[in-house]
Amino acid sequence: MLYLSADGRHPVRFTLNGRYVEGEAEPRLLLTDFLRHEIGATGTHVGCEHGVCGACTVRVDGLVVRACLVYAVQVDGCRVDTIEGMADGDELNDLQLAFQRHHALQCGFCTPGILMSLSQLVEEEPHADGSRVREVLSGHLCRCTGYYGMVAAVMEVLAARRKAKNV
Amino acid sequence: MIYRLIFSSDHLHPTRLIVSNARMEHVGRSFERVEDPALLRGAGRFADDLAEPPGCLHAAFLRAPVAHAEIKSIDTKNALALPGVTAIITGSELAQHTAPFLSGVKVNAPQYALAIERVRHVGEPVAIVVARDRYVAEDALEIIQVDYASLDPVVDPEVAAEPTTQLLHPDAGSNVLHERRFKYGDPDQAFAEAAHVVKTTVRYPRNSCTPIEAFVVLATYHPGENVFEVTANFQGPYTLHPVMARALGLPGNRLRLKTPPDSGGSFGTKQAVFNNIVGLAVAAKVSRRPVKWVEDRLEHLAASTSATNRVTTIQAALDADGHITALDYDQLEDCGAYLRAPEPATIYRMHGNMTGAYTIENLAIRNRVVVTNKTPTGLMRGFGGPQVYFALERVVDLAAARLGIDPLEIRRRNLVPPNAMPHSTAPGAVLDSGNYLGTVDRAEHEGDLAELRARRAQARADGRLYGIGHACIIEPSISNMGYITTLLTPQERARSGAKNGALATASVNFDPSGAVTVQVSSVPQGQGHRTVLAQVVADELGIYPSTIVTATDHDTLKDPWSIASGNYSSRFAGAVAGAAKLAAARIAERLKSIAASDLNVPLSDVELTDGMARAVSNPDNAIPIERIAAKAHWSPLSVPLDAGAGLRETAFWTAPELSEPDTHDRVNSSGAYGFIFDFCGVEVDPLDGAVRIDKYVTAHDAGRILNPTLADGQIRGGFAHGFGAALLEELTYTPDGAFLAGTFSDYCPPYASDMPELKILHDQSPSPVTPTGAKGLGEGNCMSTPVCIANAVADAVGCPVNTLPLTRERILKLISIEEPVDPKPTRIPPLELLGDGHALRGEGSATVPASPEKVWETILDPDHLPAIIPFCHAVEHDGEHTYRVEASFGIGPIRGRFQAQLLLSNLDPGKGLCLNGDATGALGCATGRSEIRLTKCEKGTRVDYAYALLISGKIASVGGRLLEGAVRGQIAEIFGRIAGANTTKTASGLRARLAGWLRVKS
């Protein structure tokens, strides 16, 4: 168990989207604030800061977590993946492209968190059906779209990936 | 980059699509959005993503924990001493720098950016802390001491309107800050002669569209020029710019307001950032540093803005055939604690179309606007529509039932017929175009209403609760700047000068390389304006949308704008895109003039297409448009005189039809009027009260559709808001003004798993008013869907539905099946509550391995109090059996200090006592009673306790599950510690606390 003094700043070092980053944080600094304002990775958004809306969703060591419910010091030594690492260089990935095709976003504020949750879904559950997709999406709030395009986009990606892998 | 077309079915009805200009090729088609690639990779530029200036400080607001109180004193000494705190601005200091905000109603009820002397709603800002970072600023909030003297809270608008009720603004003389009556035609005679009069009273609740991005303000003061430079995710209307400037005591050009390139949704709400802009501007001036504030979710839900809740008594007069001959509205509008600009606009936005989609010649309206101890209201998607149509479309259903006519048939009998277009309504709207009956027929057929009726028949035969609802509504768009002046009498209007029109602006520019930029003041909030503007301008210039760059971030110092600028009243597609079309058309004429000279053909022979200026008579005679544009920059002396110099055009457009209200109070309140017909089938579960939407069909005639995919996106989004308003969402207050919906667990927007399927149909009767032929379409389902679902539920359960949202509890109440109550008997009779706050009751017991006498001693020993109160910081003996306690309490991330006064009473030595107390702190207030009984038992003493608590303020706002769990845990811990203390009676101080704590935990 790591004990940190409340007053001091503590080193935080982790791998962000495949690149080593480091900084210092008070123990109470949230991961959202650290990513956005210490590292400058502003793609992770803050919507509620109580773990309900899902806008801040990132992946820590592959697991989907709410960055607003994690302290920065907790990810020391971890692998952190955010929306900024999703595209392959200049090329949007299949999920991002499907979101664009299906008008699955409007203001785009909730979108990064949603894409992070869905990235895990499409990796781990190739046979997810519509109700499973809605269940996963129900960890997120979107106020613009009514979710319609998102469900269509994910179903299309799942089918295409299944076809590509012949499963 | 090649522009990709989205091929989608079901969007257009080709036989009805009217193409006014054969050269148009991009408008009317679905294009992927230019906004998306950045947003999809997290590269959007939202307000909180922009670089902070060097030395930027961060602000946090201290907010009122009570609904209504006088501020006796504010002590900021300790907070100012906290390292990292730069400044604290209280109301009295703010009042030295600012004037009250202007209001549309001349009453003495001033509002400033901070509460002055009195707080009037939970969450009202009381002070601004400016500090090194937000964390330190929030630390400082905790140790600011405010002494409040309670006043009677006024929450119910009907109570507020009574003359004997406590006044919110004593100088205004009444809580009713505005009242006007209107008569159009002869409603008295129509009601006197009516074959039937149907009457109902409905209550529309408070709700909010809650964008996922909350408010952001970054304010800087430039002392050399006396200029405030503010970046904020403000959405307009820019009528509020002079309101802010006046509050700061400056002409408009000294308040430079910039909006960011991206905004995380608004739906009207971000209008209400304006009072914070003034507060932050003062904070920047006082602290002499840039100051940034990012609103958190609790602040947004509790204190930003809300739709108005409204009580409407509506009467309809009908002839024997079911024709509505007159309507009478008595509307009581609750605008919250202040009439914040542009209120009371909500109640007047629909004024011209208060007769709905129907031909009704006689109309009476009484509008009253009251203030209550709730958050001030403001713009909200649908603005005024949900409230009006909830009354109108409910009474139409009741009329159908009274006359024994099918609810769809009675609507058909009253809809404005196509041959009556354009139809001038009794209160003054000009319903410009459309075939409402045709749209209803088509939706009935294509939406298969007959099949839905068969489903209802089958469900009812099976004994299930199944109903069908309908709604016909007019969706107004492009608000007339003069509609709000309908609240003035014609004489008052004549004195104050006419207000009319709705100016939209757009600029189109060719740079020297021939590339095109478009700039507008529509301040989009996610709708995709940039994509549509590129389509519209490309068609006028004969170029490709992908070559155009559009800027929608806005700067009042440098960009064109006007009083009507901003993102509201669905004004983009008709007005702003229309202005862009006009600006582009002007530039196209100038390009043609240069091309005619270069191609050596008459001007009438030149066309712009596929990026070329071409002679129609000889298509080989052509020149690239970018070369013409370059010529205008590089060789201005060589272009024809009539082409002018440079290639930039700014168009201002307003609908000429938008006159000010006339002397009979008739007003064409909007520039365009769409039509919507919805129907749905719902099933109600009689056991748990859940409403399931079986099928929902929405048919729109919003004029010409510029981009079908984006149009459907707007409809789906509006539908989600309407669905939430119908079934889930309410900003709940207790009767004493405590706010109970401060998190997304307490205020419940729909999730993906909640949303039903939606079938969308379009007709396209082009608006004769707007340059694009488009009417607004993004707000309509916020107006139609709540009442459509309410009508369906009423049909299902067989009783009237008079309020929303139709939560499970409310449905169960409607069908008179009470929720199962906890059968466990209480040993101690329930304690009476002391008021009406967020009430918590509980009971429990603990066994203590000591005699009742020992336990009694422990409870009465003041030295033991610190040990038995978790997170106790200090205890003072304050008279016999009275203690002052300072302790911390928290729920999840919210934690704060409280000062409590505890009083022991009804002492029955060795047997029992009462413990009463009050606590106040930055997080809120609590008052409570508890009763404790001691009984000797085998293992020592059995301690039984019961308590009743009333909680208000921030801590109540996080409500429900979280709060109850935390309080129960804390109280159980206290009694557990009493048990623990009895076995460590020789220990004291820290040792006792540790020992007690460990024992309880083990």
- Please list every residue in chain B whose beta carbon sits closer than 8 Å to the beta carbon of residue A106: 265, 526-528, 713, 717
Structure confidence by residue, pLDDT tens digits, A56-97:
999 999 999 999 999 999 999 999 999 999 999 899 999 999
A45 to B751: CB separation less than 8 angstroms, yes or no? no
Q: What are phi and psi of B799, to 5 degrees?
A: -145, 160
B interface mutation test: which of A80, A148, A154 has the most B CBs within 10 A? A148
Q: Identify the closest residue of chain A to B47 by CA–CA distance.
A: A42
Picking from A113, A63, A61, the residue whose alpha carbon sits closest to that of residue A86 is A113
pLDDT at B798: 95
B37, B48, B267 ranked by CB distance to A143: nearest? B267
Give strand pairing partners of A19: A16
pLDDT at A5: 87
Paired tokens of B99: 């004037």
Q: Identify the closest residue of chain B to A27 by CA–CA distance.
A: B135
Give strand pairing partners of B932: B913, B945
Paired tokens of B630: 């370059």
Instruction: For residue B246, give the H/E element and its range.
Output: helix B240-247
In chain A, which among 28-87 make CB contacts under 8 A with chain B? 28-29, 36, 41-50, 52-53, 55, 82-84, 86-87
CB B694 within 8 A of CB B683: yes
* pLDDT at residue B17 is higher than 70: no
pLDDT at B82: 98
Q: Find all residues with CB under 8 Å of B83, minimum gap 6, and list them.
A: B136
* pLDDT at residue B906 is higher than 50: yes
A50 to B49: CB separation less than 8 angstroms, yes or no? no
pLDDT at B340: 97
A108 to B892: CB separation less than 8 angstroms, yes or no? no
Distance, CA of B167 to CA of B611 (rounded, Å): 66
Can you give the C-alpha Rg of chain B in angstroms? 32
Structure confidence by residue, pLDDT tens digits, B611-622:
999 999 999 999
**pLDDT (mean) for B148-160:** 97
B721 to A143: CB separation less than 8 angstroms, yes or no? yes
Q: How many CB pairs lie under 8 A apart between chains A and B?
A: 175
B43 to A43: CB separation less than 8 angstroms, yes or no? yes
Q: What is the DSSP string of B763-790?
A: E----SSSTT-B---SSHHHHHHHHHHH
B32, B526, B751 ranked by CB distance to A106: nearest? B526
Paired tokens of B600: 């050596």
Structure confidence by residue, pLDDT tens digits, B518-539:
999 999 999 999 999 999 999 9
A50 to B297: CB separation less than 8 angstroms, yes or no? yes
Distance, CA of B625 to CA of B628 (rounded, Å): 5
Q: How confident is the model at residue B836 (pLDDT cuts 50, 70, 90)?
A: low
A115 to B40: CB separation less than 8 angstroms, yes or no? yes
Q: Identify the closest residue of chain A to B742 by CA–CA distance.
A: A48
Q: Find all residues with CB under 8 Å of B975, minimum gap 6, and list them.
A: B844, B845, B846, B943, B945
**pLDDT (mean) for B461-468:** 97
Q: Does the domain made of B14-30+503-653 have the CATH classification 3.30.365.10?
A: yes
pLDDT at B422: 97
- Please list every residue in chain B whose beta carbon sits closer than 8 Å to the beta carbon of residue A44: 42
Distance, CA of B642 to CA of B632 (rounded, Å): 12
H-state helical runs in B825-949: 852-860, 865-868
Structure confidence by residue, pLDDT tens digits, B843-862:
777 777 788 888 888 777 77
A109 to B43: CB separation less than 8 angstroms, yes or no? no
Q: What is the DSSP string of B508-545?
A: EEE-TTS-EEEEES---SSS-HHHHHHHHHHHHHTS-G
B526 to A44: CB separation less than 8 angstroms, yes or no? no
CATH number for the segment(s) B838-1001: 3.30.530.20
Min Cα distance B48 → chain A (Å) is 8
Structure confidence by residue, pLDDT tens digits, B536-553:
999 999 999 999 999 999
Q: What are phi and psi of A86, to 5 degrees?
A: -80, -40
CB B378 within 8 A of CB B334: no
A99 to B36: CB separation less than 8 angstroms, yes or no? yes
A149 to B296: CB separation less than 8 angstroms, yes or no? no
Distance, CA of B296 to CA of B210 (rounded, Å): 12
Q: What is the DSSP string of B325-386?
A: EEEEEEEEEE-TTS--TTTTHHHHTTGGGTTTTB---EEEEEEEEE--SS------TTTTHH
Domains B14-30+503-653 and B160-207+306-486+659-814 share a fold: yes
Q: Measured on CA atoms in the order A81, A84, A87, A89, is the torsion positive or negative?
A: negative
Q: How confident is the model at residue B887 (pLDDT cuts 50, 70, 90)?
A: confident
Picking from B694, B688, B689, the residue whose alpha carbon sits closest to that of residue B459 is B694
A55, A83, A143 ranked by CB distance to B209: nearest? A143
pLDDT at B23: 53
H-state helical runs in B861-933: 865-868
CATH pick for B160-207+306-486+659-814 out of 3.20.80.10, 3.30.365.10, 3.40.50.970, 3.40.50.1860: 3.30.365.10
B717-721, B772-776, B812-816: least confident range: B812-816
Min Cα distance A96 → chain B (Å) is 6
Distance, CA of B361 to CA of B324 (rounded, Å): 9
B40 to A96: CB separation less than 8 angstroms, yes or no? yes
Give me the half-sphere count of Cα atoms (radius 13 Å) on the Cβ side of residue B962: 23
Q: Identify the closest residue of chain A to B42 by CA–CA distance.
A: A43
Superfamily of domain B47-151+215-295: Aldehyde oxidase/xanthine dehydrogenase, a/b hammerhead (3.90.1170.50)
* pLDDT at residue B719 is higher than 80: yes
Q: What is the DSSP string of B973-1002?
A: HHHHHHHHHTT-TT--HHHHHHHHHHHHH-
Distance, CA of B466 to CA of A122 (rounded, Å): 37
Q: How confident is the model at residue B945 (pLDDT cuts 50, 70, 90)?
A: confident
CB B744 within 8 A of CB B58: no
In chain A, which among 96-125 make CB contacts under 8 A with chain B? 96, 99-101, 103, 105-112, 115
Distance, CA of B628 to CA of B597 (rounded, Å): 10
In the block, tokens 């307009």 appear at B236
- Please list every residue in chain A whose beta carbon sits closer than 8 Å to the beta carbon of residue B39: 105, 107-108, 111
Sheet strand arrangement including B176-184: B176-184, B362-370, B324-334, B309-318, B196-204
Report the DSSP pairing between strands B362-370 and B324-334. parallel
Q: Find all residues with CB under 8 Å of B913, minimum gap 6, and list them.
A: B859, B904, B905, B906, B907, B931, B932
Q: Which domains does chain A have, with CATH numbers?
A: 10-82 (3.10.20.30), 94-165 (1.10.150.120)
Distances (CA, A) of B433 to B12, B359, B927: 18, 14, 60
pLDDT at B560: 97
Q: Identify the closest residue of chain B to A137 by CA–CA distance.
A: B752
A48, A103, A137 ranked by CB distance to B752: nearest? A137
pLDDT at B831: 59
Min Cα distance A52 → chain B (Å) is 6
Q: Measured on CA atoms in the order B469, B474, B478, B482, is the torsion positive or negative?
A: negative
Picking from B827, B868, B824, B865, the residue whose alpha carbon sits closest to that of residue B848 is B868
pLDDT at B892: 59
Q: Identify the closest residue of chain A to B4 by CA–CA distance.
A: A101
Give strand pairing partners of B355: none
Q: Identify the closest residue of chain A to B5 by CA–CA distance.
A: A101
B210-214, B404-408, B991-995: least confident range: B991-995
Q: What is the DSSP string of B407-475?
A: HHHHHHHHBPPGGG-SEE-TTS-EE-S--HHHHHHHHHHHTTHHHHHHHHHHHHHTT-EEEEEEEEEEE
A107 to B265: CB separation less than 8 angstroms, yes or no? yes
A111 to B213: CB separation less than 8 angstroms, yes or no? no
Q: Measured on CA atoms in the order B7, B9, B11, B13, is the torsion positive or negative?
A: positive
pLDDT at B450: 98
Per-residue burial over B280-311, b = 16 or more CB atoms within 10 Å of its CB, e = otherwise? bbbbbbbbebbbbbbbbbbbbbbbbbbbbbbb
B744 to A53: CB separation less than 8 angstroms, yes or no? yes
pLDDT at B830: 55
- Tell me how far the alpha carbon of residue B992 is from its chain's centroid: 51
Q: pLDDT below 70 — which residues of chain A?
A: 1, 167
Distance, CA of A5 to CA of A24 (rounded, Å): 13
pLDDT at B645: 80
In chain A, which among 120-159 make CB contacts under 8 A with chain B? 131, 133-135, 137-138, 140-151
Q: How confident is the model at residue B938 (pLDDT cuts 50, 70, 90)?
A: confident
Q: What is the DSSP string of B6-29?
A: PP-SSS--GGG---S-TT--STTS
Instruction: For residue B57, give the H/E element and its range.
Output: strand B57-63
Q: Identify the closest residue of chain A to B894 by CA–CA distance.
A: A50
Q: Identify the closest residue of chain B to A69 by CA–CA distance.
A: B893
pLDDT at B25: 87
The residue count for chain B: 1002
Distances (CA, A) of B898 to B81, B924, B956: 20, 8, 14
B41 to A92: CB separation less than 8 angstroms, yes or no? yes
Q: Identify the closest residue of chain A to B33 by CA–CA distance.
A: A100
B interface mutation test: which of A45, A50, A52 has the most B CBs within 10 A? A50
SS3 content of chain A, % helix, strand, coil (to 5): 40, 15, 45
Q: Identify the closest residue of chain A to B753 by CA–CA distance.
A: A134
Structure confidence by residue, pLDDT tens digits, B412-446:
999 999 999 999 999 999 999 999 999 999 999 99
B40 to A42: CB separation less than 8 angstroms, yes or no? no
Can you give the C-alpha Rg of chain A in angstroms? 17
Picking from B833, B816, B850, the residue whose alpha carbon sits closest to that of residue B941 is B850
Picking from B814, B755, B802, the residue whose alpha carbon sits closest to that of residue B465 is B814
What is the domain partition of chain B in residue ranges? Answer: 14-30+503-653, 47-151+215-295, 160-207+306-486+659-814, 838-1001
